[in-house]
Amino acid sequence: MDPTRLYLRLGALGGFANATGLVLYAYYAVRVAHLSPLELVLAGTALEVATFVFEIPTGVVADLVSRRLSVVLGYLLVGAGFVLMGAAPAFWAIAGGQFVWGIGFTFFSGAREAWLADEVGEDAAGPLYPAFVRRRQFGLLVGGFVGIGIGWWWAAGTLLIGGVLYALAGVYLLFTMTEHGFAPAPREGRATWRTSFAQAAAGLRVARARPVVVTALLTTLLMGASSESFDRLWGFHLINSFDGLPDVMPEALFFGLVQLVAQLGSIAALRIAQSRTDFNSSSSVAIGLIGSNVVTIAAMILFAGAPVFAIALVGAWITFWVRAIEEPFATAWVNRGLPSATRATVLSTVGQSNALGQIAGGPIFGALAALAGVRVSMAVAAVVLVPAVALYWRHRGPAEDEAT
């Protein structure tokens, strides 16, 4: 099949399978599997550890063996992870499934886009990346409705069917994905642990020369740690901290609609923020980051301390919507003025900082939730973002490259 058509089709297929499988995950983990707050967070940590540890080994497969093989294996493994999570409503199955899912994700993250560039050329591939995102968003919306329909009568079925869809996508790729442009990476270009450490060292050298990069490393570390508490515990809080979900429709249907509103609002919030921000100005982007973090802190505290369900729901939605702004804005902010030779290194190092924050923060906030309660855990997670606001405030003026 034509690589362009296949790549765009993957955007829709992947989004559809992902939303079908995960739209009711939080409901399934809390209401069906009865995971404790600590178990919820540790299951998420299993996913983060897998993606962090296996990023380099799976990159070797994509660089030395085959991009096509790496992508196919990735979709098959993600499917297996989803199926394992849905096969048994128990901590071992959910945590194990998330670990397998994380390994699968590392197989196709990066390899999919590298395959496209190999097959059609870098210039032709460039415009296809945002088109892929648009197709994926469409697939996510449609898959969300399908997942709600399935979960209405079978909550575990969303994960099982989502996993089967991912696996079928892998089989489909096995028969339709061509690979004519791939050439094994030369020794000096291969991804290894040694090159990973060298990359981190290079990123730190750039950080010492550019205070903005130091700020980005610290803020993404804090954002990663803070996000783990909310991402893993918001469903538990809505279901167990009040008198159940509103008795206006079946619980699974209501919970799925909450997820869809969160997703639609996130898309709208990002587009509005992008249209009102001057991305050629570091100060404009920094002010946007200050505002988004302040609102996130307030919304998370509102969510954590809400006396009634309706207020908590509003706090959750606002948190979802505003956090959709942070990652692309943070990337644009640190990207301003970076030398071309070190740009990829710095952005990768910043991404690893976020992952480390999630891995370190997850168990801490899970233990805090077990000892002091979910409300305390999420309130403390919100306060963790306060230093990030202070750091962005210090750099709200024009960047050095803009001032000269």
Residues 234 and 277 in one domain: yes
Q: Name the DSSP letter for residue 308.
A: S
Worst-scoring range by mean pLDDT, 193-197, 370-374, 380-384?
193-197
Q: Does the residue 52 lie in any domain?
A: yes
* Tokens at 94, concatenated: 């959910």
One domain, residues 174 and 212: no
- Indicate if 143 and 205 belong to the same structural domain: no
Q: What is the CATH number of the domain that holds 292?
A: 1.20.1250.20
b/e sequence 118-152, b meaning 16+ C-beta within 10 Å:
bbbeeeebeebeeebeebbbebbbebbebbbbbbb
Specify the length of the chain in residues.
Answer: 404
244 in a domain, yes or no?
yes
Residues 153 and 207 both lie in one domain: no
Q: What share of the chain has pLDDT > 70, as a percent? A: 87
Taking 70 as the threshold, does the pLDDT of residue 48 lie above it? yes
Domain-embedded: residue 237: yes
Tell me, yes or no, whether 142 and 22 share the same domain: yes
Higher pLDDT, 222 or 55: 222
The last residue of a domain, from among 140, 161, 181: 181
Q: Let me know whether 344 and 243 are in one domain.
A: yes
How many domains does one find in the chain? 2
pLDDT tops 70 at residue 342: no
Considering the domain boundaries, does residue 45 fall inside one? yes
* 231: containing domain: 192-399
Mean pLDDT of 161-187: 87
Tell whether the model's pLDDT for residue 401 goes beyond 50. no
Lowest mean pLDDT among 61-65, 195-199, 250-254, 376-380: 195-199
Mean pLDDT of the chain: 85
pLDDT in tens, 202-254: 656 666 666 777 888 888 899 999 998 899 999 999 999 987 777 777 888 88
344 vs 168, residue with greater confidence:
168
**Helices in 91-210 by DSSP H: which ranges?**
91-108, 111-120, 122-125, 128-153, 155-176, 193-209
Q: Are residues 153 and 301 in the same domain?
A: no
Domain-terminating residue out of 162, 181, 200: 181
| C-alpha 329 chain-centroid distance | 15
Residue at 404 is within a domain = no
Q: Are residues 85 and 171 in the same domain?
A: yes
Residue 47 lies inside a defined structural domain of this protein: yes
Could you tell me if 170 and 229 lie in one domain? no
pLDDT score recorded for residue 404: 41
**350 and 289 within one domain:** yes
Domain end marker among 125, 160, 181: 181
Mean pLDDT across 1-24: 92
For 107-126, write each residue's pLDDT tens digit: 888 788 888 888 888 778 77
What the block records as the tokens of 248 is: 């206006």
The answer to whether residues 245 and 120 belong to one domain is no
Same domain for 317 and 265: yes
* 348 domain-assigned: yes
Residue 52: per-residue pLDDT: 86
Residue with token string 């804090």: 222
